[in-house]
Amino acid sequence: MYDGLSRDKSGKRTDKTGKRDLTFNYWHRKYLSNKCYATDIDFYEYRIERDGRFIPKAFLEVKQAHVIQKKYLCGANSKAIFLLAKKLGIRFLIILYELKDPKTLECDFWIWEPKSEREFDEYDETKFEKFFRKYTNTQLAQLLENL
């Protein structure tokens, strides 16, 4: 498929600049009141059917593995994305990663899939293992491929 967008040899989209433009982020904070909330969604997993239909699969909130504090994982942004996922009938996953090999991008992953809004209130970083499950590269790839 050629659509004029940057792609690698296998046809996957590539990041053109490697930089994130924060202009609208700053604009939103400067010109709108504190009653106007917004958040970015790290990843929106979807599939495209042969007939061109888009099939929503999941929202992914992704953070480095050292970010386990409740204030970062269970704040208003995560709750808002979770509620949107529920309304759409798709999954919401919080994925933490620790880069093991920069050359191969091999990582260790920990995944939490909250099932109810109440779980955000119940989260306790001292009981991390109760909420998060460890995944290998292969396991995470399989999970995402099979959404």
Residue 33 included in any domain: no
| b/e per residue 80-104 (b: at least 16 CB within 10 A) | ebbeebeeeebbbbbbbbeeeeeee
How many whole angstroms separate alpha carbon 134 and alpha carbon 116?
21
Instruction: For residue range 92-104, list pLDDT tens digits in order.
Output: 999 999 999 999 9
What pTM was estimated for this model as a whole?
0.88
Residue 26 included in any domain: no
Residue 98 included in any domain: yes
Residue 29 included in any domain: no
- The pLDDT, as a whole number, for residue 20 is 82
Q: What token pair was written down for 113? A: 């899939």
- Look at the chain and report how many structural domains it folds into: 1
Residue 15 included in any domain: no
Residue 86's alpha-carbon distances to 15, 89, 113, 130, 140, in angstroms, are 29, 5, 12, 22, 22
- pLDDT, averaged across the chain: 93
| Domain interval for residue 49 | 40-145
pLDDT surpassing 70 at residue 12: no
Residue 9 included in any domain: no
pLDDT surpassing 70 at residue 136: yes
